[in-house]
Chain A
Amino acid sequence: MATLRQLRTRVASITNIQSVTNAMQLVAAARMRRAQEAIAAARPYAQQLDRVLQRLSGMESLSHPLMTERVIDRTALIVLASDRGLCGSFNTNSCRHAFNAMSLDDGIMAVGRKGRSFFRNRNCEILNDYEDVFRDLSFASAITIAEDAVNRFLSGEVDRVMLIYNAFVSVAQQQPVSEQLLPIAPREGEATGVYLFEPSPEVLLETLVPRHVNFQVWRALLESNAGEQAARMRAMDNATKNAGDVIEELTREMNKERQSSITLELMDIIGGAEAVAQ
């Protein structure tokens, strides 16, 4: 049985832990709101880019190196995880999903420190890794990652690039998904009608394709970021609640301990008094 003093110190330290987890939860909640706003802000661009792509897919006989399927020898997997922990099973979810899907000679492009260490521990080949992308999320990071993937695809180093991340379904749910980034999957075209193309559809496609790839990476980064914050918020909420439970239990034990020591002292006094009276 712990002494009264030991119990008091433990309650004090758990109260400190609780205030830290509570603060982390509030920070994660604020970041998540911002991340959700960023997803909403990207939507108009997404819709417009999609319309342009559909318009061009309606043209016959257009081709682009990034849209050409090859026999798949080797795949690169871009895996999005977080730089920091304390976010529940968030990192394990996307990394495991990728790990189960990959074959032996596939390579990993790890975004986030946690993803890199996951694959390094399992002796997977890491083609490249990116740190601190999520701290100050900007479109420039999406371009850097996308260009790296495009170069590896065009040079023939890999024949396919997959993008694996946690999709933000809701605050309570993040779903690991894998999407094919390269080659770009063909899309149902839309009848073009009387449409003016400036300059030629070929040049337009040349402009469009890299932007499309950049944006796919950007969208995944945004989703993953919102998911990370949501996961951290829930993990910290649980931690705060658990700390509360432990404090309650320790307080009860502390009270019991105090009471029994008082009882003992009383019995001493009563015993003494009786001895004097006799």
Chain B
Amino acid sequence: MASFQLDIVTPEKTVYSGEIEHFHAPGVDGGFGVLARHQPMLAALGIGRVGFREADGTERTLAISGGFANVSGDGATILAEAAEFGDEIDIERARAARERAQERLDNRTPDVDVERAQAALGRAFMRLRVSGSE
């Protein structure tokens, strides 16, 4: 199967860089998959799971907190403000974040930013799912 270059970058580091066969990503209007020689594309990503198969057949999954996928002739790049592979996720921290967000949503006071709490809850859920703990 034809392979292409994928880079996953965050402001803090390059999370992944390598040859892959395909990847799928959580577009804001629904998930999509990309194979080699895809048409050039710029897509907005939501909070969710990115999965890809490396050229040697290994399947890998990571959680991202929204961003972009930029597909061009010389490969694809995923830009995210945060991206973590399943085995790097701190499960305890994700659980704590989920509980904090849940509590803020349950006991709403006027100064609770509902949108932000919901986004935090979504991120925590996604990280727990990708880490395979729940």
- Residues of chain A at the chain B interface (Cβ within 8 Å): 38, 41-42, 44-45, 48-49, 51-52, 55-56, 138-139, 142-143, 193-199, 203-204, 207-208, 211, 214-215, 218
Q: List 17 A-B contacts (CB under 8 A).
A: A42-B11, A45-B9, A45-B11, A45-B14, A48-B70, A139-B10, A142-B11, A194-B40, A195-B40, A197-B43, A199-B29, A204-B68, A207-B66, A207-B67, A207-B68, A214-B81, A218-B11
CA distance A213 to B7 in the complex (A): 22
CA distance A139 to B13 in the complex (A): 11
Contact A196-B14, Cβ < 8 Å, known A48-B79, A207-B68: no
B42 near A: Cβ within 8 Å?
A: yes
CA distance A139 to B65 in the complex (A): 13
Cβ contact within 8 Å between A196 and B39: yes
Q: How far is the CB of A104 from chain B (nearest CB, A)?
A: 32
Choose from B29, B39, B43, B70 the contact partner of A51 (Cβ within 8 Å).
B70
Cβ contact within 8 Å between A208 and B81: no
Cβ contact within 8 Å between A215 and B9: no
Contact A204-B44, Cβ < 8 Å, known A44-B14, A52-B68, A52-B70: yes
75-124 of chain B: CB within 8 A of chain A: 77, 79, 81-82
CA distance A218 to B11 in the complex (A): 8
Please give 17 more A-B residue pairs, beta carbons under 8 A apart, in addition to A48-B9, A55-B42: A41-B12, A41-B14, A44-B7, A44-B9, A45-B11, A48-B77, A139-B10, A139-B11, A143-B81, A194-B39, A196-B43, A198-B32, A203-B44, A204-B43, A204-B44, A211-B79, A215-B11
Cβ contact within 8 Å between A198 and B11: no
User: On chain B, which size bracket covers the interface?
Assistant: 20 to 34
Contacts of A138 in B (CB 8 A): 12
Contact A38-B42, Cβ < 8 Å, known A44-B7, A52-B68: no
Contacts of B67 in A (CB 8 A): 207, 211
CB closest residue in chain B, given A41: B13
Contacts of B82 in A (CB 8 A): 139
B35 near A: Cβ within 8 Å?
A: no
CA distance A142 to B82 in the complex (A): 13
Contacts of A214 in B (CB 8 A): 11, 81
B48 near A: Cβ within 8 Å?
A: no
CA distance A194 to B72 in the complex (A): 11
B55 near A: Cβ within 8 Å?
A: no
Q: How far is the CB of B57 from chain A (nearest CB, A)?
A: 26
Q: How far is the CB of B36 from chain A (nearest CB, A)?
A: 16
Q: How far is the CB of B90 from chain A (nearest CB, A)?
A: 14
Cβ contact within 8 Å between A198 and B41: yes
53-73 of chain B: CB within 8 A of chain A: 66-68, 70
Cβ contact within 8 Å between B40 and A207: no
Choose from B11, B14, B41, B77 the contact partner of A195 (Cβ within 8 Å).
B41
Contacts of B32 in A (CB 8 A): 198
CB closest residue in chain A, given B10: A45
Q: How far is the CB of B40 from chain A (nearest CB, A)?
A: 5
Contacts of A41 in B (CB 8 A): 12-14
Cβ contact within 8 Å between A49 and B41: no
CA distance A138 to B14 in the complex (A): 15
Contacts of B7 in A (CB 8 A): 44, 48
The 7 A-B pairs with the shortest beta carbon distances in the complex, nearest first, are A198-B43, A196-B41, A45-B9, A207-B44, A41-B13, A44-B9, A48-B77
CA distance A199 to B29 in the complex (A): 7
A44, A45, A142, A214: most-surrounded residue (chain B CB, <10 A):
A45
